[in-house]
Structure 1
C-alpha cells in the first residue's frame, strides 16, 4: 500500500512522510511490544482456550465449519464497528481514540496509529467477544488478517478508479469511504465507522458517500494545533491525559 501511495497518490500530503512516519511507527512498535508482553497468546489463543473448555455461543451450536466461520467473521466485524462507534460517543474513550484522528494527513501508517491504552482496551473487548462467541481459532486468525489488511488498505493515500471504488465499497471499506471519517468536520467524523465490511454503516445509517468539500479540499485531522502535536511522540502519548476529550 505504501508503494501504491507513491505510484497513485490520492491527495498531496501536507507534511512529508519524514515528518510523520517516525512518530507513527514508534507508536506501532510500542503498541506491539505492550501487547506481546501482556498477551502473548493473542485472540487466537483465547479462541483455542474457549474451544477446550467448550464455552461460547458457537460451540453450543451444531453448525458446519463454513457457516460457523462465516458467522464468527460477521459478528467479530460488527463488534469492531461497535467499538469504533463507542470510541466516538463515549467521552473517556474519545480521549484515547483522538490520538488516531490527530494525524493531519491520512496514509497507510495512520491505520496503525493508536494510543497504547486504546490497543489494550481493544484487546480486552475483542477477547471478550471471542470467548462469548466461542469463535474457532481459524476464524479468528482469518478475521485478524482481514481486519489489519483492510485497515491499511482503506487508510492508504492511494487513488482507485471511480468505478472500482464504487464496486468495492458495496462489500469493503475503501480509502475514499474511510477518508470521510477522518474529516475535520464533526458530522463527517461521526460517519463511516467500518474498518473491514461496509454493510454496518449502511445498516445503521452512518454512511456518508463523500466529504462536502470533496477529497482534495477537505481538511483531515482535528485541528491545526493537534496536527502539529501529532508529529511528536511525547505529545501524542500524553494527549488523552491533558485534553478534555471533547469530540470536535
Structure 2
C-alpha cells in the first residue's frame, strides 16, 4: 500500500493520461466482445463527440489543478479535515476512508445537486442526451459541468483534509469506474448484482440513463454504491426496459450535433419547457 501511495503522491501528468486512455481503450474493446445492447450507430462518430468533451474537461481541469493542490496543502499545514482529526490508523484504512468520502462529496453529492438545481441541470443534460450509452459517455460533460465538478472536488478535499496522494488515487479510480459502469457490456447477472453491493455496476448505472423519471433521479453513485443504498436513491430496472436519453430532449439528430449540445444549458435555463421538467422533479 505504501508503494502505491508514494507513486500517486508524485504521479506524472502523463501517467494520469495513460490511465484515462487505457480505460477507454480497454472497455471499448470489451464492448465488442460482450455487448449489453447491439447498438446501431457509428461508434467512431459517437466517440468523436464524447472525446471532444473529454478534451474540454482536461482543458478546464488543467489550469485549475493548482487550486486542488493548494487546498490539500492548506488542510495538511493547518491540521484541518476529517482525516486530520481522526486518530492514527493503518495507511490502507486512511486511503479507503479518504476515497469513500471524496466519492460521496465529489461524485454522489455533486451529481445529486446537478439534478436538483435548475441551472446546473441544464449543463448536466448533455450527459443524459446520449442515446447510445457506452464507455465514452462517461466523459460526455459540458465544460460548465466540469467546472462544477471541480468545485465539488475542491470542497471534498477541504472537508476530508485529503493529502494529494489520496486525491490522485480517488481520481484514478473515479475515471476507471465511470468508464466501467457506462460501458456497453453484459456481465453475468449474478456477478453484476454482487458487484452492485460494493461498487456501481454497469446494470446499476444504466438505470440512471433511462429516459424517464423516477429512474433518471436514481443511482447517482460513481465508485461506491453504498451512498445510493443508504440515501434511498437506489433503483432497479430490467435492461430490456431501459431506453437511453431524456424525455425533454428526444431529438437524436440534435443530440448528436456538437453545436446544439453546447447550447443546451442556455436553452434549458430559458425555455418554458424547463417548467415541465420542474413539475416532474428535474429541477
Normalised to the residue count of structure 1, the TM-score between the two structures is 0.91
Of 40-49 and 62-71, the range deviating more from structure 2? 40-49
Q: Within 1, Cα distance between the matches of 2:164 and 2:155?
A: 14
Give the corresponding residue for 2:28: 2
Give the corresponding residue for 1:84: 111
Question: Residue deviations 1:99-154, cap 9 Å, x none?
Answer: 10001111001000001011011101110220222112222111111111100000
Give the corresponding residue for 1:215: 239
Give the corresponding residue for 1:172: 199
Q: Within 1, Cα distance between the matches of 2:67 and 2:51?
A: 21
Give the corresponding residue for 1:109: 136
Total equivalences in the alignment: 244
8 Å CA contact 1:69–1:136 kept in 2: the answer is no
**TM alignment of 1:103-182, pairs within 5 A:** 103-182=130-209
Give the corresponding residue for 1:72: 98
**TM alignment of 1:163-242, pairs within 5 A:** 163-210=190-237, 214-223=238-247, 225-242=250-267
8 Å CA contact 1:69–1:135 kept in 2: the answer is no
After TM superposition, what 4+ stretches of structure 1 lie above 6 angstroms from structure 2?
none
| Partner-residue secondary structure (3-state), 2:215 | helix
Q: Within 2, Cα distance between the matches of 1:45 and 1:168?
A: 35
| Partner-residue secondary structure (3-state), 1:227 | coil
Q: Within 1, Cα distance between the matches of 2:37 and 2:145?
A: 28
Q: Within 1, Cα distance between the matches of 2:171 and 2:70?
A: 13
Give the corresponding residue for 2:125: 98
Unaligned runs of 5+ in 2: 1-26
Give the corresponding residue for 1:23: 49
Unaligned runs of 5+ in 1: none
